[in-house]
Amino acid sequence: MCGIVGYVGPRRALDVVVEGLRRLEYRGYDSSGVAVIGADGLQVAKKAGRIENLDKELATRSITGSTAMGHTRWATHGAPNDRNAHPHTDASGRVAVIHNGIIENFGALRAELERDGVELVSETDTETVAHLVAAQLEAQGGSLADALRAVCRRLQGAFTLVLLDAQEPDVVVAARRNSPLVLGVGDGETFLGSDVAAFIEFTREAVELGQNQIVEIRRDGYVITDFDGKPAEGTPFHIDWDLTAAEKGGYEYFMLKEIQEQPAAVRDTLLGHLVSGQIVLDEQRFDQQELRDIDKVFIVACGTAYHAGMIGKQAIEHWTRVPVEVEMASEFRYRDPVLDRQTLVVAISQSGETADTLEAVRHARDQRAKVLAICNTNGAQIPRESDAVIYTHAGPEIGVAATKTFLAQVAAVELLGLALAQARGTKYGDEIIREFDDLCSVPDAIAEVLTVVEPVRALAREIAQSKTILFLGRHVGYPVALEGALKLKELAYMHAEGFPAGELKHGPIALIEEGLPVVVVMPSPTGRPLLHQKMLSNVAEIKARGARTIVISEADDSAARNLAAHFIAVPSVPTLLSPFVTTVPLQVLAAEIAQARGCDVDKPRNLAKSVTVE
C-alpha cells in the first residue's frame, strides 16, 4: 500500500506532488521520490526514509516543471533503501515509473530482460515495467499510453502504475488493476492520487478509475481506455470529505478504515505465492531438505500476533503432523526451551520490532534453530535476523489495535503450513492447490461479513456499559475468542476474558449472571459436528443461567440461532479459515463499544503500536 500523486497543470508541479505525498505518508513511509518533466527534461529525486529526507535532497537540486509524479513507498519486494525507492527509470532515463501493488510474474519478466542484456539496478518488481515500456517505445514507437497498454497486457497481479516519458512532457499516464487510483479534475489542471487526500485542497471533482483501465491526464482533461485501447469510462464523484476525513477514507478513525481494508490485506498477502502449482515463500535461506528435517515448530509472538500463531498451530499440525507449540515471546527464552537444528521457530510480528519477540528470535538463533519471520514491515529487525521471511501485505496499520495485520498474519501462517506440507509431502500437490484456492476465496467472505455488521454496531451500543463481556470458543474459535477479548480490553478499557468453552464448567461458569453478555464463536455444524454439539451444550448452560448469548455462526446454523439472544451470521468457510470471518464482527463490536464509551479508537491509552522494550 503506497502513496501515489500525479499532476499536470500551471502550478509548480513539484510543490503539488510533494505536498500530496505528505498527506499520503500514512500509506507508506519507507521511502519517497518524485519525477518531474521541465526545461531540463525528466528529472528524478528519491530517498529512503520519511519525506523529510526527500525534502533535503530536493533542496540540493533545481527541479522545475509542470508535469510530475510522486510516490511514498510501503516496501513489498526489495528492502527500503535509496536504490529500491520509486520512481524507477529505464537505462536511458527516458521513462520513469511508480507503482503500488505486486506484479506476480515479475520474476519471469526480470529474467527476460536480463536475457536481453538489460541491467536491473534494484530488487523491485516495479523496475521491470520501466524497461519493458521503454523497450516497447523503442521497438514500436507510438505513445506512452500505447506502450503501457501493451505492457499491462503482460502483467499479472495487482497494480497501480504511473509513468512519465521525457518525450511526452505534457502528459502523465497511469494504469490500474485491483489497486486504487482516482483522478482530480481541476480548471486547466488534472491530478492523480491513490486516494483523494492527494489533491483534495485543489479540487473536489474526482473520477474513480475502473479495473484494467489506462488514463492519460493533461492540463485540459483526461482520456480513459481499457488495456486494448477501447474508450472506457471512469466514475465521476464529488468529494464531500475534509482533508482529515479523506486521509481516513471518510471514516472517523483509521482503525475503522483498516477493518474495511481486510479483504485487500489478505488478498495481497497471498498474491504471488503459488507459482506453477508450487507454494513459494518471499525469502527463504533454507532448502527443501532442511524443511523436511524439521521435527518441531515453535511459534513465538505477542498479543494479537500470538492469537494468529494459535490458529497457525492448528493448520500446521493438521497439514503436516509436525508438533507445534505456541509461546508468548516474553516467556519463551526464560523457560529454556529445547531447541536444535531440526527446530523451526516462527516469529510473528507486524512491526518486526517487538522486543519480546526479537529476543526470542535471538535466543532461537543462539540454539541453532531455524527462524522464519512473518512480518508486515519490510526490512524490520526481526526479518533481518531471520533465515526466512513471509511478508504480510496489509500496508501500514495506523490504528494501534491490530486488525488487518491480524488477518494477514493468519493468511501468512497458513501459507507456511502449506509450504511445509509441500516440502514434507504430507499433502498431495492437488490438495495444496485446493487449500490455497480456498485461502484465496477468503477476501470475498470477509467482504461479505463487512456488508452485514450494522446489527453488530447496534448491539455494541446496547451492551457498551456492561461491566465485563466473556468470549467463548473451541479449536480455532478459541484464539478468535481471545482476540475479541483483547480488542475490547485495549479499545474500550473494559474487562473482558476469552475462554476455551470446555473450561467453563471448571470454574468460569460461576461468573455467569443475569444479563451478562457472552460472545460465543461457534464451530461449523458441518465442519466440526461433534465440537458444534458440545458448544451448543455450553451455550444452553450459560443461557440457563441468564447469560445474554451473542452467537457467531454460519447462517443456516438453526440450533445455534435458537439459543442466541443475538445471532451474528457469517459465511460458511472451511474450518481452518473460519477465523477470517468470525473475527470481523468482534473487531466491529469492540470499536463500536469504544466509541460509545468515548475512547480514542486509534490511540488507546497506555498503548503503543510497537512495543520495543521488554
Active-site positions? Answer: 2, 609
* Contacts with ligand AGP, 474-493, as mask; x by CB under 6 A: ----------------x---
351 touches ligand AGP by CB under 6 A: yes
239 touches ligand AGP by CB under 6 A: no
What length does the chain have? 614
Residue pair 534/563 in contact by the 8 Å Cβ criterion: no
Provide the 3-class DSSP secondary structure of residue 494.
Answer: coil
Q: Count Cβ atoms below 10 Å from residue 465 Cβ, excluding itself.
A: 10
Helix, strand, coil percent values for the chain (each to nearest 5): 40, 25, 35
- Choose between 125 and 490: whose C-beta lies nearer to ligand AGP: 490
Q: Among the candidate windows 48-56, 147-155, 394-402, 430-438, which touches ligand AGP by CB under 6 A?
A: 394-402
Minimum gap (Å) between residue 478 Cβ and ligand AGP: 17
- Choose between 246 and 394: whose C-beta lies nearer to ligand AGP: 394
The Cα–Cα gap between 7 and 202 comes to 11
- Choose between 136 and 392: whose C-beta lies nearer to ligand AGP: 392
The Cα–Cα gap between 214 and 235 comes to 14
- Position among 32, 89, 343, 357 found at the interface with ligand AGP (CB under 6 A): 357
381 touches ligand AGP by CB under 6 A: no
**Three-state secondary structure along 283-345?**
EECCCHHHHHHCCEEEEEECHHHHHHHHHHHHHHHHHHCCCEEEEEHHHHHHHCCCCCCCEEE
Minimum gap (Å) between residue 361 Cβ and ligand AGP: 11
- Choose between 35 and 491: whose C-beta lies nearer to ligand AGP: 491
- Choose between 409 and 578: whose C-beta lies nearer to ligand AGP: 409
571 touches ligand AGP by CB under 6 A: no
Q: Among the candidate windows 40-48, 288-296, 345-353, 417-425, which touches ligand AGP by CB under 6 A?
A: 345-353
The Cα–Cα gap between 368 and 345 comes to 10
What's the alpha-carbon Rg for the chain, to the nearest Å? 25
Minimum gap (Å) between residue 484 Cβ and ligand AGP: 11
The Cα–Cα gap between 63 and 69 comes to 13
The Cα–Cα gap between 94 and 141 comes to 13
- Position among 349, 386, 538, 553 found at the interface with ligand AGP (CB under 6 A): 349
- Choose between 111 and 607: whose C-beta lies nearer to ligand AGP: 607
Query: H or E stretch including 389?
Result: strand 388-391
Q: Cα 574 vs. chain centroid, distance in angstroms?
A: 22
- Position among 350, 422, 553, 587 found at the interface with ligand AGP (CB under 6 A): 350
# residues near ligand AGP by CB under 6 A: 15
Q: Among the candidate windows 59-67, 179-187, 236-244, 344-352, which touches ligand AGP by CB under 6 A?
A: 344-352
Minimum gap (Å) between residue 348 Cβ and ligand AGP: 7
Beta 296-301 vs 324-328: how paired, if at all?
parallel
Q: Among the candidate windows 262-270, 299-307, 443-451, 493-501, which touches ligand AGP by CB under 6 A?
A: 299-307
Q: Count Cβ atoms below 10 Å from residue 216 Cβ, excluding itself.
A: 21
Binding site for ligand AGP (CB under 6 A): 302-305, 349-351, 354, 357, 400-402, 490, 610-611
